[in-house]
Structure 1
Amino acid sequence: MRINWKKILIITLDSALAIYLMFAFTAFNKPDEKTKLCTKVNINIQDEATNGFIDTHEIKNRLRKGNIYPLKMPLDDVNSRKIEETLKSSPFVKTAECYKTQDGQVCITLTQRMPVVRIKSDRGDDYYLDDNDCIMPNSHYTSDLIIATGHITKWFATNYISPLSKTLMENDLWKNQIEQINVMPDLGIELVPRVGNHIVYIGQLPYCKYKKLKNKIVSDFVNKKMNRLEKFYKYGLSQAGWNKYSYINLEFDNQIICKKVFKEKKDDKSIESALAVSDNIGGIPVKSQEVSKTGNLSPEKGNKPEANKTTSSKKELSGNTANKKVNNKTRI
């Protein structure tokens, strides 16, 4: 058999040419990262408008302090892994992703930790709790969160204030209406609303040593109390007036105890008479107690002794609540 060397030579040259062209096109199309500079840095912070704890300016400053801000750096020197690790070290960053593009851009995408409540305890502690019940440090950014004040330890905050706050934040009505939680020395819970010149007392939160079960028990307890308060708002305060009562006690399931706002007469400075001893608003028994000149609830027959613990006025709130409310939109 005669070998056609001419044909084999042509096939070999065609194959070599094809391989050469393939490598040539690949080499020309591949960017030279050693000489190509980063022309733009894209920083995308998800939920920036909602949380407001970090912004683009802070991200740039953090990277500049570590000398790893990629703008005008050779792409070959841009360490994406180091940028991610540096940003994740921030207590406000949940996830961070960094990658380079062929046109010389570096893209950084961040997600933030979601705060649900700010803690300002009478011990001087000032921090946030996120949606995973973890502590976040104080920040100089503004926030529009519920503030919890009073007798709060970090253990009580992560185990009880956190599920209480999340339950309130999940409801659109209470998310906008409740602006402050106050924990009394006996761990009773007071709520300060935005609308209405009164304080709502819901009693002590139920105890449970199992975390998952505890969250459900606390949530069910709070929802039950707030459902009763919603009915009282709808059928009671909407008719009687939002400033008629200074204190609303929801501790007991069979009744609501209210302290009426009293005005002193100019002639003898006597106290105006209280509301009828027993009313029925929306199917909920409502009792109103007489108030002495000092503002304390006078004892009534049949009242439980525990009701005396609900006699604090707004000026007696623990922590920074001397004027009923902590301004939650001040810079912190």
Structure 2
Amino acid sequence: MQKLKKIAIWVGVIAYLILISGFVSGRREAMLCNKVNIVIADSLSKRFLQKHDIVDLLGRNNLLSLGQHISQVNTDQVEKLILKNTLIKKCNVYTTVDGALNIDVWQREPVVRIIDNQGQNYYLDIEGSVIAMSHRFTPHLLVVNGNIHTPFNPNKVKNIYDREYTKSAATLRQIHAMALHIKASEFWNAQVVQMYVDKNNEFEIVPRIGPHLIILGPPNDYAEKLEKLKIFYTEGLNNVGWNQYLKINLKYKDQIVCTKL
């Protein structure tokens, strides 16, 4: 008898769930899209995007969906369109039973600004993805210019670590690795303002403090070279003064060659 009661209860629960599901489904079918909720998760720290940019993008591509049955809104299509913007790292698009189209967006985090040998400007984010320049927001970042080849259109979603760019983006990969190293160091992040790549693919660094130019040379062993320079700064320049040298050359192994002003 108890067993029959349990079965009856479960049958009742299942029937109720089916009824509610059908009710919600029917309500959803009839509901029109009446609003678009956009959340830009990190808009305080990165001001590349504003909500109206997303609205304008959807409007230009006839995907704003207002007045359309909510069940017919193609969230995948909306998401793919938004992710074509190089500023956007992640996007989550979904609808709710109250008739809302919800769009959550996360922006990329730039670590270095590139000015290549054709004068093209763009950023690289922490993962090596390209970020097109924005007219709205210019973050204070390390700038690298000079003999830099860009093997892709910087206005399209690309990553320098894609297999197709193994050779053609070699210099960009070196720059990116150094930029991450500099960003991770409180000392170097404050001291390094700009880097220049010469015709021999050797690097020069413009520091924030001091009139000297740092000749890094080939980018191999850059971490070791910078550590050696940091010791020279703290144990040498702190004693003799920071305005003594025109150039500090780190090209040669186990040596620091200085040219006086």
Distance in 2 of aligned mates of 1:77 and 1:84: 15
The equivalent of 1:152 in structure 2 is 148
1:102 equivalent in alignment to 2:94: no
Kept in 2: contact 1:123–1:151 (CA 8 A): no
Shift of residue 95 of structure 1?
2.6
The equivalent of 1:33 in structure 2 is 28
Which AA in structure 2 matches 1:149?
Answer: N
Kept in 2: contact 1:129–1:158 (CA 8 A): no
The equivalent of 2:239 in structure 1 is 239
Which AA in structure 2 matches 1:197?
Answer: P
Shift of residue 183 of structure 1?
1.0
User: Structure 1 residues 47, 23: CA separation in 2 closer, same or farther (over 3 Å shift)?
Assistant: closer
Kindly provide the CA deviation profile for residues 155-212 of structure 1, in whole angstroms up to 9, marking residues without a partner as x: 3433322222222222222223212111122222111122333221111123xxxxxx
1:59 equivalent in alignment to 2:54: yes
Distance in 2 of aligned mates of 1:183 and 1:21: 70
TM-score, normalization by structure 2: 0.75
Distance in 1 of aligned mates of 2:231 and 2:15: 81
Which AA in structure 2 matches 1:150?
Answer: G
Correspondences of 1:168-179 after superposition (within 5 Å): 168-179=182-193
Distance in 2 of aligned mates of 1:108 and 1:119: 30
Kindly provide the CA deviation profile for residues 91-129 of structure 1, in whole angstroms up to 9, marking residues without a partner as x: 222332211122232221223333332211343232223
Distance in 1 of aligned mates of 2:24 and 2:116: 61
**Aligned partner of residue 103 in structure 1, secondary structure:** coil
The equivalent of 1:161 in structure 2 is 175
**Aligned partner of residue 32 in structure 1, secondary structure:** helix
**Aligned partner of residue 69 in structure 1, secondary structure:** coil
Distance in 2 of aligned mates of 1:228 and 1:193: 15
Distance in 1 of aligned mates of 2:123 and 2:18: 57
User: Structure 1 residues 80, 145: CA separation in 2 closer, same or farther (over 3 Å shift)?
Assistant: same
**Aligned partner of residue 159 in structure 1, secondary structure:** helix
User: Structure 1 residues 185, 101: CA separation in 2 closer, same or farther (over 3 Å shift)?
Assistant: same
Match of 1:181 among 195, 209, 223: 195
User: Structure 1 residues 225, 23: CA separation in 2 closer, same or farther (over 3 Å shift)?
Assistant: closer
The equivalent of 1:226 in structure 2 is 226
Distance in 2 of aligned mates of 1:70 and 1:146: 41
Distance in 1 of aligned mates of 2:208 and 2:243: 12
Match of 1:126 among 110, 115, 121: 121
Distance in 1 of aligned mates of 2:32 and 2:133: 38
Kindly provide the CA deviation profile for residues 57-78 of structure 1, in whole angstroms up to 9, marking residues without a partner as x: 2222111111212455442342
User: Structure 1 residues 173, 24: CA separation in 2 closer, same or farther (over 3 Å shift)?
Assistant: same
Match of 2:63 among 50, 64, 68: 68
The equivalent of 1:142 in structure 2 is 138
Query: How many corresponding residue pairs?
Result: 232
TM-score, normalization by structure 1: 0.60
Which AA in structure 1 matches 2:93?
Answer: C
The equivalent of 2:165 in structure 1 is none
Identity %: 31
Match of 1:204 among 213, 218, 222: 218
**Structure 2 gap segments, 5+ residues each:** 1-11, 151-168
Distance in 2 of aligned mates of 1:184 and 1:19: 72
Distance in 2 of aligned mates of 1:199 and 1:31: 71
Shift of residue 236 of structure 1?
2.4
Aligned Cα root-mean-square deviation (Å): 3.0
